[in-house]
Amino acid sequence: MSQVFTLSDQSLALMTEQLNFSGAFNHTCRSAYSRHQIQLKMKVERAVAETAVTIIMGGEKHSITLTTGAAGNSRTLADFVEAIANGRVDSAEPEPPRLQLVQSEPESALDTAQQTAVALLTRKGGHLQLDVGLEHPIHVAVHRTYTCEGITVITSIGERKPRTACWTARGDHQEVTKRLLQSIEHLVALATPKAA
């Protein structure tokens, strides 16, 4: 069985973050079928438009230039590193596609009418009481900021010891509505009783 070297999920996450910084970073590619591993050094030189990445592995240097901030840079870099580790970088052998797990969107606790009411609330300000099927309704108070585009929000659920959140968001109507809906979903998740 041939050696197949891969990056761990932790290394993939680290590489994603390290693409945002200039510097040198060490990583390990591990064999999927044995205890063998290959050490590599990744040098990142970040500029405004492009990010130059040099991979030093086994006495060889390999370089790739990525567009700064482009989506998918970390996957491209991971495929490049694994190709080097497995000896495919200079051959015409195509890369096997990296599997992307797509998680399904969790179902919203708010129905369409409630989401529309929340969107209207972020546009005009005011107070809203949302019944989401829990013991107590969720109370949402929104104050529109007119000096700069945004909202200040207080959300709470409960009577005796309410769970409360207060925050301010700046941005256009769509952005602040999305943040408010996320905040309400989070509050619903916190207030939902756990199964015994």
Question: What integer best gives the mean pLDDT of the chain?
Answer: 84
3-state secondary structure 92-156: CCCCCCCCCCCCCCCCCCCCHHHHHHHHHHHHHCEEEEECCCCCCCEEEEEEEECCCCEEEEEEE
- Can you tell me the distance from the alpha carbon of 5 to that of 163, in angstroms, rounded to the nearest whole number? 48
User: pLDDT tens digits for 71-99?
Assistant: 888 888 888 888 888 877 654 344 555 55
Full-prediction pTM beyond 0.75? no
- Can you tell me the distance from the alpha carbon of 108 to that of 182, in angstroms, rounded to the nearest whole number? 10
Q: pLDDT of the chain along its 196 residues, tens only?
A: 456 888 888 888 888 888 888 899 988 888 877 778 888 899 999 888 999 999 988 778 888 999 888 888 888 888 888 888 887 765 434 455 555 556 656 677 888 899 999 999 999 999 999 998 888 899 999 999 878 889 999 999 988 888 898 999 998 889 999 999 999 988 888 888 776 5
- Can you tell me the distance from the alpha carbon of 185 to that of 187, in angstroms, rounded to the nearest whole number? 5
Query: Using alpha carbons only, what angle is made at residue 122 by residues 117 and 128, rounded to the nearest 5 degrees?
Result: 50
Q: Where are the domains of the chain?
A: 5-85, 112-191
- Can you tell me the distance from the alpha carbon of 65 to that of 119, in angstroms, rounded to the nearest whole number? 42
